[in-house]
Every structure is written in C-alpha cells, then in structure tokens.
Amino acid sequence: MAEAKNTEKQQDVAQTEEKQTLQASEQQQNPQQFLEDFNWHKYEEGIDEVADEQLDQFEKLVEENFVDTLHNEVVEGTVIKITDQDAIIDINAKSEGVISLNEFRYNPDLKEGDKVDVLIDVREDEEGQLILSHRKARVIRAWERVNKAQEDGTVVNGSVKCRTKGGMIVDVFGIEAFLPGSQIDVKPIRDYDAYVGKNMEFKVVKINHEFKNVVVSHKALIEADIEEQKKEIIGQLEKGQVLEGVVKNITSYGVFVDLGGVDGLVHITDLSWSRINHPNEVVELDQTLNVVILDFDEDKTRIQLGLKQLSKHPWEALDESLKIGDNVKGKVTVIADYGAFIEVEEGVEGLIHVSEMSWSTHLRSAQDFVNVGDEVEAKILTLDREERKMSLGIKQLTPDPWTDITSKYPVGSKHTGEVRNFTNFGVFVELEEGIDGLIYISDLSWTKKIKHPSEFCKVGDKLDVVVLELDVEGRKLSLGHKQTEVNPWDKYAEEFAVGTKHTAEITDIVDKGATVKFNTDVTAFVPSRHLIKEDESKLSKGETAEFVVIEFNKEFKRVVASHTAIHKEEEQKIVKQAQKKSKEEDNKTTLGDANAELQALKDKMEGK
C-alpha cells in the first residue's frame, strides 16, 4: 500500500515537473503571451503554486517589457479605447491608464490608435488603473521644445492670440509667449490688430525659468537677411545718387526712408531750405519721393539722405537786382532774444536785430514788436550773397525823431514823459519813441532828500519835465522835474532867515541835539547846548518852545535853531554875529568861503 502511494506521489511530481518544463518552454518561446496569461491574483491568493525559478523569470520579463511607473517621466502611449468621458491609454505598463477627454479639447478628432504623450499623475487608483495626464505632459514637452529651440536657435511656429501692453501674446507649443511690439517687424507697426490670429515663425530670444516667461521675436528672423541685403545695397551706392524711396517713419529730428531693403535718414535740416518745426510739415507716411545720397557708412550701414538738395539753393536764385536800401516783405519765422528772422523768399532769411526795431534807445524783447507768423516790411541794411546773410531794419521805415530835435525840444521847453527805468543816479524818461532824457536825482525835488529814484516815482509814471541841456550829436537830453515848480527855498530864505523867531515842538531827540519841524519842508536842527531853558533844564521831546534861527543854508537845505539864545545874552550876541555874517555872505562870490565861515560859527556855538 505504501509502495502504491509513493509511486503515485512520484507520478504527481513528474507531472508537475513536466508541466513546469512545458510552461518554461512556452515562456521562452512567447514571453509576452505568458505575461498576459499569468494570473497574478491567484498567485497572490496562493491558489496556484509557482516555482521560484518561474517567479524570478516572471519578474525579469516584467522589468524588460513594461514601463517603470515609479519615475515621473513623460512617455508615449496609445489610445486603445474612448468612452463618453475618458480615453484609455496603453503605456505598456502593468495596467492601462485613464485620461479625461477634457484634456483633448484642443484635438476633437482624437481616435483609437493615436499616439499621445502622457505623464503618470496617480500611479494606480482603487481599481488598479493608472491615472495619467496629457495636459501636464504637453506642458513638459512644450518647455523641452522651447528650451531646445533657444539652445539650437531653431525657428518655431506660433499663433498670435491677442494684443497686450507693449506687444502681442503668442501660442508656441501651447505656451503663451510674449512678442514685443519692437520685435514684430523691422519697420514700425501702426496696426497691431492686423496680426491677431496669424500663424508666424519666431525665434526664442529669452526664457525666464523662475517666472515661466518666454520672449520671442519675428524681427530677429529677418534682420540677418536684411543686414546682408543692406551690405549688398550699400556696396552699390554713390554719393550724389538719386534714389526713389518710401517714407517709413517720421520723428521730430528727421524722416526714415525705405530705399528697398535698406533705410536712410533725411535729417530735418535736409528736408527743406525753409525753416520747419516738424518733418510732417513736408512729408507724410508711406509717401513716395526722390532723395539724394549725401553720405553713407558701409561699416555701420548708415545712409544720410537729402531732399532739399534736389532743388537749387534759394540764395542762388535770389533776385540779382535786390540791393541795400531796398524794402522787402516777409514772414516772421523765428524770434530770439536778440531779434527776429524774416523769410523774404523761400529759404532766404534776414535778421532784424532788436536794436533795429525801434528808435528807442531802451532795448526790449523782439516779442514786444513782432510775433511768429507776422507779415512785416523791412529795409535791407546789409546783404552778403556769398555768406548768404542779410540784415534788415524796421525803424528805418519811419523818420529818425532826432532829425528835428532842436525844434521839438529846445532848452527850457516843458513836456510830459513816461518813466522808463531807474539808475542809482537818476530816472530815464521817454518823451516819445526814440527820444529819452535823463533826470538826475538832484533834479527831482526841491525839498525831498531822495536816496534812490524809486522813492520818488515808479516805472510807467507820467512826469512833467523841463529840458535843461541838449546834445544833438551825442543824442542826449538832460531833463529836470523840480524846475517845473518855483523853488520854495527862495521863499524860505526870507521866512527863516538868521535871527527870525518861530514857535515849534521838539519832534525828535537825535545825536548831539534835537529836531523841530517848522513846516512840511523845513526841519531845523537844535544842538544840545541850545536846548537849555531859562531854569537850566533841557527841552525834551514833545515840548513846544520858541526858537531863533542861527543858521540857514539854501544850497544844502540846512537850518540850525536855538532856544537858549532867546533868554541868554551870550547866545544873542552869537545870533547878531550870524546875522551880520549872513548879510556879508550875500556880497561874497565864493561859496566855499561862506560855508567855511558858517562852519566856524557853528563850531563856536557848539563850544568846539
């Protein structure tokens, strides 16, 4: 019995070994089929026993034939089935992956058998299926392609999506890239909207990995070709050559002209022989015109063009009969501090200096006489055709007011003038345009002590004047204002003569004495010694007392008085002596002697 059981067991082992040998042979012949037929569930549950060698071989085949799903890499998969919501993708892994159809909205024609890039998003869900992402895989692939395009300098295709501040947004490999306005084309773009929706070629010029920004350029693709084209065109240029071009851009300093692949600049000064404020006064965008080559730089590929040089210089066409002394008419083109430029013919200007605008000797701004755009008539003062210079004058169209000055303003005549300006020593008064006179500060008032003319009057005031002196050759007038009135000091010489007595109030205590005001014009000085009252006390400010004049000087408007002389005999004698000296003074011819005697008398009274 035992032998029968052993024999049966040996047969089972032999059958198992034969089966394993057969399976190993099938496994080697068709490993893929073996892997598909292998029941992993039964193996894990222990339903089927698997030899160690068979299990090792199985794991080896899995490693060789299936994708390692542990690495977060982009792989290529095949669409094997499409449901209402998902696409089933085979990536040659242990199980198929699932991707939502929302990620394929850009590709409505997706079908079974299509190859797609995927990224393993969640390795396996609860049902054991791989959750994949096509959108993330596209982004990764797109950045790989963008980085490679920048490294290799290859050209990429993109679609212009919309406008943005400073340029356009472009879709490149699904990435939104920025296309600056200056990089759209080599010529300025006036209509950005015309590019929206267009498919164009670009070059990746900058990538900011930190902020995930990409900058592309379409201009860079054509610049290289243009540079070669420029060199070829410039190599055929000659100075003085006339070419046809199209106005490409207008700036404040000039005009850029497209000469057929290469640009040249017409500076604003080379646009017209006349003065212009802006180039758009002469040309318009996209205008076709002829220009002449003035200069060019082959190394820097710069071309200097001219437009006005195509016509004859206006000075060469100026009327030969025009000469000094002729009257001309023109328009004011420019006003400067020193004068105004008048265009008498197109491209021919003359300068009217501000001194030639009026006979007045007081220079003013040219804007006081003319404005830009005014039509004026002037006389030619100088004319130099070789230097192309002309000076003009306006005042020469009217008679010189100094011609008959002696008859209009004889010495002693009275007039009314306007205060024009001040100096430290006097006031300039304009009697009429071109006729000015000076009033010295000493000739402003008989009574007021004036330190500066501005204390007496202001600019624009009307003043009555008398002509004191007239210098025709020097074109100078000396005027006086106080001479229009009688000198009140002639009357005061009698009213306040030495020895006359007056009652007044002490107005102020000053150094070495006090002052008393006899009237609005006459203020007398009282030395300290002459403030002594009869009781030996001193007069103080505000006290009213009687005073006697002990000195009167009309020339210097000086009056000295004394209260003490009213009641003391010694001072009375001094007053009598002063009266005597004053009478003798009238007979003296030397003013210096009289002043010396008065000074000596004053010193004596002050006890010096």
**Mapped to the 3 state alphabet, what secondary structure does 261-278 carry?**
CCEEEEEHHHCCCCCCCC
Domain interval for residue 132: 74-139
| 144 vs 149: CA distance, rounded Å | 9
Please say if the pLDDT value at position 70 is more than 70: no
Structural domain count of the chain: 7
| Contact between 421 and 459 (Cβ < 8 Å) | yes
CATH number for 346: 2.40.50.140
Query: What's the pLDDT at 1?
Result: 46
- Do 495 and 472 lie in one domain? The reply is no
- Mean pLDDT for 224-250 is 80
- Do 254 and 274 lie in one domain? The reply is yes
- Do 374 and 427 lie in one domain? The reply is no
Confidence of residue 86 (pLDDT cuts 50, 70, 90): confident
- Do 130 and 190 lie in one domain? The reply is no
- Mean pLDDT for 296-316 is 80
- Do 357 and 283 lie in one domain? The reply is no
| 73 vs 104: CA distance, rounded Å | 20
Residue 177 lies in a domain: yes
- Do 364 and 340 lie in one domain? The reply is yes
Among 189, 206, 116, 203, smallest CA distance to 158 is for 203
Query: What's the pLDDT at 399?
Result: 83
- Do 493 and 597 lie in one domain? The reply is yes
Confidence of residue 255 (pLDDT cuts 50, 70, 90): very high
CB atoms under 10 Å from CB of 34, counted, come to 18
Query: What's the pLDDT at 10?
Result: 56
Is the Cα dihedral 26, 27, 32, 36 positive or negative? positive
Summarised one tens digit per residue, pLDDT across range 100-120 is 777 777 677 788 888 877 777
Lowest mean pLDDT among 483-492, 501-510, 527-536: 483-492
Among 310, 221, 225, 306, smallest CA distance to 262 is for 225
DSSP code at position 538? B
Summarised one tens digit per residue, pLDDT across range 534-568 is 888 888 898 899 998 988 888 788 899 998 888 77
Look over the chain and give the mean of its residue pLDDT values, rounded to a whole number: 78
CA angle 284, 287, 289 (to 5 degrees): 115
Lowest mean pLDDT among 186-190, 249-253, 462-466, 570-574: 570-574
